[in-house]
Chain A
């Protein structure tokens, strides 16, 4: 099984290395937010659960690091991911996953589907006792 797995993964890598694939550098969510996460984690987690203002600030910061947003000046506490920031449905999945990582929570599919704006994300995270 391992051998098959290795073969498969190397095939995956080889095919993704074809030049045509590189239409633009796409940053993996976990990598694009990593520096902020390391900083935010230390900075915010010392004094209990984050406040709504903290959550909002961290989500806005995280979005600023997301390279798909054409106009970062439109990022605010009320931005809608697709209507205001021009993100498509796949981008929205990536943003929500980056938010999960930022606050160390796992959002179930149903709730994740409902998060389409900064405000909804803030409300969801604020409702999670495990968020840090």
Chain B
């Protein structure tokens, strides 16, 4: 059943990630379907487990690490559509940007 669950998870993830974008919805659905069909035919048991895991990882990536952006008319900016599940970092590294890197930067100049 886990293959089926992976398929469902991926379709759901793609639907969320490409919402309203019929071109990508169609393309992602085709791609997902094609890869599952191909792997269902050819995979050994060990391999299958690995591929199911991969499918779940892709689903997670689509859900958390992909956002849609739309260009704002007449501007250079894009509007990002963040979703509830979009991963947000704490930006800790940005608060202390030069710590430990200053020496290297000086050598370069």
Contacts and interface: CB of A to CB of B under 8 A. Distances in A.
A2 interface: yes
B28 A31 contact: no
Interface on chain A toward B: helix, strand, loop, or mixed SS? helix
Interface in B5-59: 5, 7-8, 11-12, 15, 22, 24-31, 33-34, 36-37
Interface string A82-116: 00000001100110010000000000010011000
Nearest to A10: B24
A23 to B, nearest CB: 8
Contacts of B30: 16, 21, 26
A112 B8 contact: yes
B37 to A, nearest CB: 7
A2 B37 contact: no
A53 to B, nearest CB: 28
Contacts of B1: 109, 113
A5 B65 contact: yes
Nearest to B23: A13
Chief secondary structure at chain B's binding surface: helix
Contacts of A89: 3-4
Nearest to A23: B34
A15 B29 contact: no
A15 B4 contact: no
Given A5-B65, A9-B24, A28 B29 contact: yes
B7 A26 contact: no
A38 interface: no
B33 A90 contact: yes
